[in-house]
Amino acid sequence: MADWRKISGGVTAARGYRAAGITAGLKPSGLPDLALIFSDVEAIAAGVFTTSQVRAACVDYCRQRLQAKHSARAILCNAGQANAATGTQGWFDTLQSAMAVAQALNIASDSVLLASTGVIGQRIPMDKLNAGIPKVVAALSDTGSDNAARAIITTDLVPKSIALETTIGDRPVRIGGIAKGSGMIHPNMATMLAFVTCDAAVSPTLWQQMLTRAADRSFNSITVDGDTSTNDTLIALANGQSRTPAITEFGTEAEKLEAMLTAVCQHLAKAIARDGEGATCLIEVQVTGAHDELSARQIAKTIAGSSLVKSAIFGRDPNWGRIAAAAGRAGIPFEPDDLQIKLGDFLLFENGQPLTFDRAAASAYLKKAAISAYLQEDTVLITVSVGNGHGTGTAWGCDLSYDYVKINAEYTT
């Protein structure tokens, strides 16, 4: 049983944080497009970013800032323009954005972190951004998380938010998060942004290690379409305002905090996969029996990312052969005779042999998951065993529908 409980508040659930989201005119749609998260005190900061060689200016900026200084107070995010592949001027726009936020908040510019999302190759309209920064600062509130969550989305159908609470040293500790992401989603991050706030006191090295592992078990284990983007950013702040003793080394309290951090990241990651462009259901792939966790996750991610598996799920076709094929090409050795495949409660393949199963009932299971997906009540569960090893891993994805092509064919038109 989880040693935490779900609470309201998103990124403002943790003590000492305020947030805001406004319409600054950056999106042609006129929807909210500028978000700010602010800690009342300097907070330990950690980040995980895209592995792409083509990166947005804000990604390089945050990497440099976090290498030089492991703390921050503010995160500004604009939606509408990725500010990626925008050359030298895009870099200057990033620096100017940080300075404008710092001036409006009366803090040092190196305490500001930045994120952007939108169309690659488009600069941020700096006149609109500069006009919007004082407004988003004025709108900061300890109940502003929902507004911030709405202001960071692009093709998402719904905002994504979560907050959890546990007890450390007889005092409550909270972690909250918001995220955006719907398309260009693939392991090793994706077109996704996620911002996490925590009120525990943690050493910079430990906090970064926790976040990296949490990312591997969440955002790096989801896939929608096999594309990784230029702007992927996961930033986590820990400001110590819970007044609990500082966690500086691994132990029971560190494990407890990391487990809750991972749970927050996994909730947001699954919300991204469920909201995949054109998706009708969430797919969860659980792999057991591998040599180690990394191997199990690799098999799970390969299955979840297979276009053939995803298309079969959309067609409500319990085609286990596509699952077996994806597992076999994952690059992880296993004995085919050890392979077992289940779809929900339906055992389809075992000991290297196909089994007789109720195909109509299995197809109905897939249809039920699709109908209930938007209620977040049902998930298509694929369970695969590849041997007797101790390695287990999970990945999440979504089905591949006609609407995915339509959405992306018309993205800039």
Strands across the sheet with 282-289, in order? Answer: 222-223, 389-398, 282-289, 380-385, 340-343, 346-350, 353-354
Local structure of residue 220 (DSSP, 8 states): G
Query: Mind telling me the catalytic residues?
Result: 191
Give the angle 218-44-207 at the CA atoms, nearest 5°. 40
The Cα–Cα gap between 222 and 224 comes to: 7
Cβ neighbourhood burial of 350 (10 Å; 0-12, 13-18, 19+) = middle
Non-local CB neighbours of 61 within 8 Å, separated by 6+ positions: 91, 94, 95, 98, 113, 114
DSSP string spanning 149-205? HHHT-SS-SS-EEEEEEEEETTEEEEEEEEEEEEEEE-SS-EEEEEEEEE-S-B-HH
The Cα–Cα gap between 185 and 220 comes to: 9
The answer to whether residues 129 and 78 touch, using CB atoms and an 8 Å cutoff, is yes
